[in-house]
Amino acid sequence: MDIRDLKVFQMIAFEKSVSKAAKKLYMTPQGVSKILKNLETEMGSQLFVRDKNGMHLTESGECFLVYANQDIEEYYEMKQEILHIEQRQRKVVDLLSAYGILRLVTPDCINAFEREHPDIEFQYREYPDLPVEQLFEEKEGNVAFSIGDFDEEKYHVVPLETFPIKMLVNENHPFASRNSVTIEDLKDEPLYIESSQFHIHHLVVDKCREAGFKPNIAFQTSGFSLCHKMVKANKGISVTVDFVFDDMQKSGMKLIPFSDGVYEWKACMITRRDEEENEAVQCFRQHIQDWIGKIGRGEITR
């Protein structure tokens, strides 16, 4: 048997069906059945029983699943360890970035890094905040940009920039005449907001819950752009941060700060403490810190 066989067995156990497992694995039911038959022959035991409700593990099958899960997990951990060794030796920066942070850092920063370090292989992937953290936790990538506070016992954390989260309204909205708002002002207002895969969503929803109401979420999206578009059309309100608002360069809207607490969009760069850091990642981190410093001093415009 090999890892592929174990994954097929694992999927059958999860789906309780050969045909459903085959669909998830992009295989034919016949192919899945053949692998299962070979496993049962090799183990000298029936691993599943079938009834009208599907396939269920036998006692031997339950035991086999425990070891299969362990072997699969150890296999992928081993693959990640070898990948990180190869990345260190080949000088690879493998960046996972939450949406919006490359906009904050600027593409010019990344382009400058690649020009100045042609010997370093740079690659990146973008996801919402929470998937970035989950993937990084699962040993994907060797450096990450994301939003929020991080466990400094697990990660080397470099703060990039922190922005106050503000309410975004159309200039014709009644709130537009105000100098500040509170979380209670969101009550009953149609709210356009990033989805639950983003920290800003949970911050706003949790603050509303603490204030005793559930926000009237009109639509959830995967980025700030659609929220700005809907506010521009005066369909409702949203929340955003200054640099995104400035970058959109859309007239007819107003940002209003919250006056009843701390509402922050905190961008950080993280690397793992339990992983030997490669020279390329160290170089990249220093480049990012220098670039953000130049933006802060006005030497570079975003």
Q: What is the pLDDT of residues 33-73, one digit of tens each?
A: 999 999 999 999 999 999 888 899 999 999 999 999 999 88
Once rounded to an integer, what is the mean pLDDT over residues 255-280?
90
Answer yes or no: same fold for 3-83 and 91-301: no
pLDDT value of residue 279 = 87
* Spatial distance between the Cα atoms of 272 and 157, rounded to a whole number of angstroms: 9
CA-CA distance, 12 to 158, in Å (whole number)? 43
Q: pLDDT category, 77, cuts 50, 70, 90?
A: confident
> pLDDT value at position 251?
82
Confidence at residue 139, expressed as pLDDT on a 0 to 100 scale? 83
pLDDT digits (tens, 9 = 90+) for 236-257: 999 999 988 888 767 899 999 9
In which band, very low, low, confident or very high, does the pLDDT at 264 lie, cut at 50, 70 and 90?
very high
Query: What confidence score (pLDDT) does residue 83 get?
Result: 65
pLDDT band at 277 (very low <50, low <70, confident <90, very high): confident
Q: Which pTM does this prediction carry?
A: 0.71
Residues 161-172 pLDDT 10s = 999 999 999 999
Taking the domains of the chain in order of start, what are their residue ranges? 3-83, 91-301
Q: What string of H, E and C letters represents the secondary structure of the chain?
A: CCHHHHHHHHHHHHHCCHHHHHHHHCCCHHHHHHHHHHHHHHHCCCCEEEECCEEEECHHHHHHHHHHHHHHHHHHHHHHHHHHHHHHHHCEEEEEEECCHHHHHCHHHHHHHHHHCCCCEEEEEEECHHHHHHHHHCCCCCEEEEECCCCCCCEEEEEEEEEECEEEEECCCHHHHCCCECHHHHCCCCEEEECCCCHHHHHHHHHHHHCCCCCCEEEEECCHHHHHHHHHCCCCEEEECHHHHHHHCCCCEEEEEECCCCCEEEEEEEEECCCCCCHHHHHHHHHHHHHHHHHHCCCCCC
Architecture of domain 3-83: Orthogonal Bundle (1.10)
Section 284-292 average pLDDT: 94
Average pLDDT over residues 132-140: 88
pLDDT digits over 175-228, tens only? 999 999 999 999 999 999 999 999 999 999 999 999 999 999 999 998 788 999
74 has pLDDT over 90: no
Average pLDDT, the chain: 91
Q: Is the pLDDT of residue 301 over 90?
A: no
From 107-116, 173-182, 185-194, 269-278, the region with the lowest mean pLDDT:
269-278
Decide if pLDDT at 145 tops 90: yes
What's the CATH number of domain 91-301, 3.30.110.30, 3.90.1570.10, 3.40.190.290, 3.30.450.190? 3.40.190.290
